Amino acid sequence: MKIWFDHDALLGRGGFAYVFKGKFGGREVAVKRVELLEVDEREEEAMLKLEHPNIVKLFHCEKDNHFMYYALELCVASLDQVFLKSDNPKKYKGPTPRQIKVFSQLASGLEHIHSERLIHRDIKPSNILIMKSPGKNEEIIIKWSDFGLAKSVNEKGLHSWSGVKGTRTWYAPEVLEKLIKEEKAKEEELWGTVKSDVFVLGLVFGYLFLEGEHLYGSGETEIHKNISERNPVNMQKIDEKLRKYYEDDLLRKMLEHDPKKRITSKEVVEQLESINDKLTKKEEELRQLCARNSSSGLIEKIKDLIQLGIDVNAKDTIGRNALHYLCRSNSNSNLTDAIRLFIQLGIDVNAKDKFGWNAFHLLCQNYSNSNLIDAIRLFIQLGIDVNAKNIFGSNALHLLCLNYSNPNLIDAIRLFIQLGIPVVSDVYDARSF
């Protein structure tokens, strides 16, 4: 066999399939093993048909006398593992992209599925996988998986009805109606639609906003009742500012009860692009907030903007992020608290602009804050490269000495010397300033 797997490295199981860690063609893969009697050719056909960065790739399949084996892209976790309790050994504790990025990747993948005239029919958090891309940057990519219930649709996005498919708490209302009432009164009710996928994608978005809770309640009976009554009971738990961006413009359109009025997966992609444009403007607002030196409520204002899911590492045209702006205008009395907050939020403390300046350089060049020593010590604790130079060859000590009116200058220089920062560089001598 070309596919090899480790029987002791079980990644998951479900129904008639087991997933193991293995190898194919020199790369690590996930090997899905399915009993031959239970093989659904639709899954293989669907995965061979789908080629998209947000869909798990099928590399190869082969069989023996008992099983079919699929070599698939290896992922590190499924979305539901993100929200397991901290003491659960299966909990995923690694990084995840920002919400808008997760949403956009999922929507893009689903649009591709629908563009290939397929309906997924089994959308749920456990069928959404998290993959780390190869390379030192380890980009996190969200992938659709498990196409065992996928089915072809006609040019109108409809498929013939052959019973309720999927997981019982992740149903669109039209699917739920067929489950509960078992109605087959009208001929048109014998047809399903790709828009059922869109409704359940909306449930997944809500699940992410609510950190593992279902938009329509808890427990199958309550969820079914609230979906039927058009009552997303947990919508109000989503932060008000987030709802401002997502609820009316996107979520309610995805959760429209009537599939004929519900937006398409393509329209979801377009709507997310519009939301992302709004968030990009908020990223500029964050940088300008840090540049204004407003001591009143700075921390709270930063938190409010971050709550929207903006990219804390977003840069301006010369490559400066919010921490650069904060340290360039460092008279704020909350400077060290703001630096700590940005680090907690995952900002790159060593990020440089196109001239080689990091936030530490700007702090030292423009110091006017009485907390200068505390800020320097904090940066050092955070792992800043104290010897970093800009493109002109200046390090933080050189820049500190450019403006020597600060009463803490001597203490700051002593601190630098203790750290072993060079007093002389190839270009400048700090003593010459």
Binding-site annotation, residues = 32
E runs forming strands in 165-245: 191-193
C-alpha 252/C-alpha 232 separation (Å) is 10
Helices (H) and strands (E) in the chain, counts: 15, 12
- How far is residue 400's CA from residue 239's CA, in Å, rounded to a whole number? 42
Our CA angle for 235, 228, 207, nearest 5°, is 35
The encoded tokens of residue 153 equal 């649709």
Q: State both tokens at 339.
A: 């630096």
Taking residue 378's Cβ as centre, other Cβ atoms within 10 Å add up to 19
Q: Would you call 122 a catalytic residue per the annotation? A: yes
Question: Which entry of 122, 197, 311, 353 is annotated as an active-site residue?
Answer: 122
Binding residues for ATP: 32
**Cα→Cα distances 169→130, 196, 207, 214, 233, Å:** 22, 13, 12, 9, 14
Q: Which of 420, 419, 373 is nearest to 400 (CA)?
A: 373
Of residues 124, 126, 116, the one with CA closest to residue 42: 116
Cβ-contact 210, 237 below 8 angstroms: yes
**321: exposed, middle or buried (Cβ count in 10 Å: 0-12, 13-18, 19+):** buried
Which residues fall within 8 angstroms of residue 269, CB to CB, at 6 or more apart? 104, 107, 108, 111
360 vs 330: CA distance, rounded Å:
11
CA distance 230 to 167: 19
**Catalytic residue list:** 122
